[in-house]
Amino acid sequence: MENQHKKEDITREFWLSSGSVNNRTTVFILAFIIVVMGLYSYISIPKESFPEVVIPTIYIQTPYPGNSPIDIENLITRPIEKELKSLSGIKDITSTSVQDYSIIVVEFNPEEDLAKALQDVKDAVDRSKSELPTDLDNDPNVMDIDITELPIMYVNISGDFSINELKTYAEYLEDEIEKMSEISKCEIKGALDREIRVDADIYKMEAVDVSFQDISDAISAENVTLSGGNVLANEYNRSLRVMVNSKL
């Protein structure tokens, strides 16, 4: 009985709970202030629908038609990788050598400046050109990933119209979209560029002693537009345009 009586007399108190109960008004005021400040911070914090995201990754693409994956690796990939390994701040280098093509992916540490890293990679690729094949059609293409350049919306145009009509409508729509202040750039993809094919008769060319260069020069001289200067007319400067049409 004595031990039971002693247990009943023992009480414990947590100061934070007791202080909150004894100062209820103060606790309510502090809670109200915290809620108000939290709502104000949430409303006033800057927000972006498409925040800038920097990916510290650079791609090196080198086409070399007519070569097997093994030749691509030995002739293209390895010389470039050799120069890239001398750069600082690189986290990882991965490469893929396939038929006619070499792809090297250089991943830098997040704290590295992407612009400086891109220039360093370009310099390394330039140093490796002395070891690359001399018959490359194009130099290695060095590029980074810019999230802001990726399109956020595609607009498809189709209908019972010719290709030229669809391209005309697309160009009109492109101009209208670019007038919007929220749009930085609008591009047309998939539209065919007009080409003119010239079929030359070799026998007739030999008969009249005309070369391919003569035909090219004659076509280049057709429909040439030249500037004729400015003319003052009714207090307005008018620009003149001279169209020169030469005949074969």
Find out whether 98 and 141 touch, Cβ atoms under 8 Å: no
pLDDT of residue 147: 66
Amino acid at 134: T
Taking the whole predicted model, whether its pTM rises above 0.85 is answered as no
- Tokens in use for 195? 């080409």
**Cα–Cα distance for residue pair 133/121, rounded to 1 Å:** 19
CATH number at residue 137: 3.30.70.1430
Domain housing 132: 54-149
- Tens digit of pLDDT for each residue in 76-108? 999 999 999 888 888 899 999 998 899 999 999
Residues 58 and 143 in one domain: yes
Residues 82 and 113 in one domain: yes
pLDDT of residue 248: 43
> Which residues, listed in sequence order, are joined to residue 64 by a DSSP beta bridge?
none
Q: Is residue 35 part of a domain?
A: no
> In which residue are the tokens 């590029």 written?
143
> Which residues, listed in sequence order, are joined to residue 141 by a DSSP beta bridge?
61
What's the domain count of the chain? 3
Q: Looking at the predicted structure, is the pLDDT value of residue 110 above 90? A: no
Domain boundary among 114, 149, 184: 149
Q: Looking at the predicted structure, is the pLDDT value of residue 246 above 70? A: no
Q: Looking at the predicted structure, is the pLDDT value of residue 231 above 80? A: no
- Tens digit of pLDDT for each residue in 40-54? 988 888 776 666 677
Mean pLDDT along residues 112-124: 89
Of 104, 105, 97, 102, the C-alpha closest to 69 is: 97
Nearest-5° Cα angle at 31, 29 to 37: 100
Q: Looking at the predicted structure, is the pLDDT value of residue 152 above 80? A: no
Amino acid at 69: P
Q: Is residue 176 part of a domain?
A: yes
- Tokens in use for 245? 């049409």
Residues 120 and 156 in one domain: no
